A and B are shown apart, each in its own frame.
Chain A
Amino acid sequence: MTLKESIKSVIDVIRAEVWSQVTGKIALTLLTLLVILGIIAAIMLPPNFVQVWNDPKPWGIKPKTVPPEWASIFGYACVPHYEVDLRSITYRYDISSNSVTLRYTAVYRLTANGYPRDLALAIDGFRLANVQSIRISVSLTRPDNVKVQNVLEYLATGINGSIRIDGVLTNPDSMKVASMLVTLYPQLLAYSSVYDIAREYTKYLFGDLTKPDNVATLNGEYRVEVTIDVTYLRSPSRSDVDKLLSAIKSSTNFRFAIVGTCYGLMGTDYRGRDIAEALFFGLPVALLIGFGTAVATTLIGLFAGLVSGYYGGFIDEFIQRFIDVLGSIPTLPILILLAVAVQQAYGASPLKPFIMLMTILGTLIVFGWGGLAIVVRSMTLSLKAEAYVEAARIVGASNWWIMRKHIIPQLLPYIAAQMVYATPSAILTEAGLSILGLQHGLPTWGGILADARIYGNIAYWWWIFPPGIAISITSLTFVLLGLALERVVEPRLRRV
């Protein structure tokens, strides 16, 4: 029996024994689904995802702790998040004697029974030379054709003729917006003060103000106009416009947003990060943690148990006592200790999350193979005493031959089941450790849950339940698979 044949026989056994059961069918279907999704996610995973995830800048413009868009089904007043990326929409430009003006227009459709939270402008990594100043302003034309000028304004002056804008996130000056609204709708003052209007300025900015005593959402199309005014020391030419445009294009962020009260598929967390992204990209990580730990512990356990049981003597004694020592060391304090040490040593390094995760996995592997090795050893002890092993030795088989042909094939079903059971336990342990505070910072499911525990509360159900459900489904898959494999492991349940 070659290795290929034994793999084939394993597949045959899976087909005959696992697929024939309902649990086996569910488990294999779920497993295939998870693996395919995991592979897709792994392919789509941006290379700097971890860095972006931990960087507050790109997420600042997003709404914080808002539920997913589909929450409106349950009657939640949901205003979807609206964003314009100025780097990719059309524009018009004007050149005057000492300035260049870029005008961007976009249409915002409001069809909800609520108000957006805020307006925001985010600029990052913007560089422009030989200019005096830049002024960015946003004006809004409401569906009732009233134009609110300069809802949002940002002004930057150049130092030595050059302008650098990094990590800027501006929101409207609510007092200014309020006084502007009062000028446009003087009747508002009869019912509320400017301060009240300023406090809830989006309600009035996006509200039907014909009945100021009872403001409702003004649904319809809002025209957003973003104007970028750049003042030059000399009179600008066409090439200056190109430079300005390329400066905008090459900036890392240049967006205007009408911040909604719900976001995307899965909502956001306390920093405005998209939970759906973390869930999706957390899948390959979870599978990797699970499979990686399971495969490593199983292989080490198999090898150690095999050597221990087969060769016996001093090496057996050594391995078994080593397992005893490992088994008597409490894993959790060691993990916490190592995690703190890594935190201290690599706290500033961008690789820290990765190193931390590897440390946790390494510790799980180091402490995880002992039990399997003991079982494999005892199985090997009984297998190597079989008459057919003696017969093979008389024929002249080498130790490796006997292990390969007579012992490992008999261990294989057990090993496979062991691996299946070890997979969810590794995922759960990783999640558990994250929740306990051993935060590695990677957007794993456990990591999301840990954030939710610290910064969230039970009201943020979109933050807590999805990762929990994802962990449960993954674990369930492997547990069901294990249950289905029980028949393979326990020959008395088998139908031969």
Chain B
Amino acid sequence: MSEPILIVENLKKYYILRGSLLQVLGLRPPIYVRAVDGISFTVNRGEIFCLAGESGCGKTTTGKVIVRLLEPTSGKMLYKPSPDARRVLEKYGYKQEYVDLAMEYPKEVDKALRREIQMVFQDPFGSLNPRMKIKDILEEPLLIHNIGRDPTERLEHVMKALEEVKLTPPQEFIDRYPHMLSGGQRQRVAIARALILRPSLIVADEPVSMLDVSIRAEILQLMLEIRKTRNISYVFITHDLAIAANICDRIAVMYLGKIVEMGETAKVVDNPLHPYTRALMQAVPEPDPRNRLKLRKLDIKGEVPSAINIPPGCRFHPRCPFAMDVCRREEPPLVEVEPGHYVACWLYAKK
């Protein structure tokens, strides 16, 4: 097993809800939306780590905190910088092997770290500025990081990046505007923008969920290839367990801001332990046409509670068919039930 590149420890992201005047004045405790409520995981070099869960469970927030679009409320994100970034870090006296992304750094260090971790967004229609040409979109990161001495050299970089994401010939694309491209092509451009700075970690926030089913496979294939050629790690955020099962090395299932089950994909998918994971697995569309008329029974009931009023104890207990007394009182710890397979459920914690 290779070394971890990112270690997230007890990461929390709360949003303060501005409520009544009393709360504004501090006479009443403020209300928090606990979007991410203490999660821990590790991403290894060259690994695809999946964050799965339904909408509102905090997986996108986690992704945005990792790329430092959002500041975490608390917790650590230890990242192992590449040699290039390490040089900049050492200049400023950061000698540790891992740097905490949750902290603030001087401008130059900040820039060097930003170069290491990039993101691919869900919506390829929104993530490219409609007023900029593809060339300008891809040149922007180079300009910000002073890569390439002159426009021709930067253009070469841009061409290479376009070739890497299989937009060939690149000359045909550089002068186009985003609205002249198809969804799949745009997502390729977005991936090229993430790649052009040669990052070590890419947070892919549902990169294929807005694409046509026919194109999904191509984009996923492309991402897998890039991992192979560049040994990049991915944090792959998805709500689609079918995709997760196909491309992830390890998977973490989130529910209401917590990881409820985590482990190697094969173990989690073939042997889901947490009642929520099981329900998710049951909801995956059945590919076998013989089963198309079979009624599938879901064990769980009700809706996801709001992140403002998280139920006490195990946050899944109001919907859980196996809820016990202890579930209503205490939060279950994340325990290792078999090597590399963790579950947060009292059903397994007792053993």
Contact = CB atoms under 8 A, between A and B. Distances in A.
Chain A bound to chain B: yes
Interface of A: 1, 386-388, 390-398, 401, 405-406, 409-410
Q: Which of A390, A393, A398, A409 has the most CB of B within 10 A?
A: A390
Contacts of B69: 390, 393-394
Contacts of A410: 131
Nearest to B205: A387
Interface string B114-134: 110111010100111101100
A392 B69 CA distance: 10
Contacts of A393: 69
A387 B141 contact: no
Contacts of B136: 1
Nearest to B133: A1
A246 B5 CA distance: 97
A386 B145 contact: no
B131 A391 contact: no
B86 interface: no
Contact of B129 (A388, A394, A395, A401): A388
B144 interface: yes
A405 B144 CA distance: 12
B118 A395 contact: yes
B189 to A, nearest CB: 11
B119 A391 contact: yes
B140 interface: yes
Nearest to A405: B140
Nearest to B132: A1
B197 interface: yes
A313 to B, nearest CB: 12
B228 interface: no
Contacts of A386: 126, 129
A391 B114 contact: no
A471 B119 CA distance: 56
B25 to A, nearest CB: 15
Contact of B114 (A396, A406, A409): A396
A345 to B, nearest CB: 45
A396 B113 CA distance: 9
A387 B121 contact: yes
A249 to B, nearest CB: 66
A281 B339 CA distance: 90
B193 interface: yes
A13 to B, nearest CB: 11
Contacts of B197: 395
Contacts of B131: 1, 409-410
Interface of B: 64, 67-69, 110-111, 114-115, 117-119, 121, 123, 126-129, 131-132, 136-137, 140-141, 144-145, 190, 193, 197
A397 B121 contact: no
A304 B69 CA distance: 24
Contact of B118 (A388, A394, A397, A406): A394
B127 A396 contact: no
B193 A395 contact: yes
A12 to B, nearest CB: 12
Contacts of A388: 126-129, 137
Given A1-B132, A390-B121, A395 B140 contact: yes
A391 B127 contact: yes
B123 A387 contact: yes
Nearest to A496: B179
B148 to A, nearest CB: 15
11 contacts: A1-B131, A387-B121, A388-B137, A390-B119, A390-B121, A391-B121, A395-B144, A395-B197, A396-B114, A405-B140, A410-B131
Contact of A396 (B64, B126, B129, B141): B141
A66 to B, nearest CB: 59
Given A1-B132, A391-B119, A410-B131, A397 B144 contact: yes
Nearest to B177: A496
A410 B64 CA distance: 25
A248 B138 CA distance: 78
Contacts of B67: 394
10 closest Cβ pairs, A-B complex? A387-B126, A387-B127, A396-B114, A395-B141, A388-B129, A396-B111, A387-B121, A394-B67, A394-B119, A396-B144
A410 B132 CA distance: 11
A395 B68 CA distance: 11
A385 to B, nearest CB: 10
A405 B139 CA distance: 12
B211 to A, nearest CB: 15
Contact of A392 (B64, B111, B140, B190): B140
A199 B129 CA distance: 83
A401 to B, nearest CB: 7
A394 B145 CA distance: 12
Contacts of A405: 129, 140
A396 B132 contact: no
A393 B144 CA distance: 10
A336 to B, nearest CB: 39
B119 A397 contact: no
Between B111, B119, B121, B129, the greatest number of chain A beta carbons within 10 A of the residue's beta carbon is seen for B129
A139 B128 CA distance: 88
B26 to A, nearest CB: 16
B293 to A, nearest CB: 41
- Of A392, A395, A397, A409, most buried by chain B (CB within 10 Å of CB) is A395
B132 A395 contact: no
A387 B128 CA distance: 7
The CB with the most chain A CB atoms within 10 A, among B69, B110, B126, is that of B126
Contacts of B132: 1
B141 A406 contact: no
A487 B145 CA distance: 37
Contact of B193 (A391, A396, A397): A391
Nearest to B178: A388
B114 A395 contact: yes
Q: Pick from B68, B69, B131 the residue with the most CB of A within 10 Å.
A: B131
A492 to B, nearest CB: 14
A388 B197 CA distance: 16
Nearest to A9: B131
Contacts of A392: 140
A396 B115 contact: yes
B203 to A, nearest CB: 9
Contacts of B140: 392, 395, 397, 405
Nearest to A410: B131
Contacts of B127: 387-388, 390-391
Nearest to B193: A391
B11 to A, nearest CB: 18
Nearest to A491: B130
A276 B116 CA distance: 70
Nearest to B114: A396
Contacts of B128: 388, 391
Most buried by B among A393, A396, A406: A396
A394 B63 CA distance: 12
A406 B67 CA distance: 20
B71 to A, nearest CB: 13
A121 to B, nearest CB: 71
A488 to B, nearest CB: 13
A174 B193 CA distance: 94
Contacts of A401: 144
A292 B332 CA distance: 68
Given A390-B69, A394-B117, A406-B129, 6 more contacts: A388-B126, A388-B127, A390-B119, A391-B193, A394-B67, A395-B144
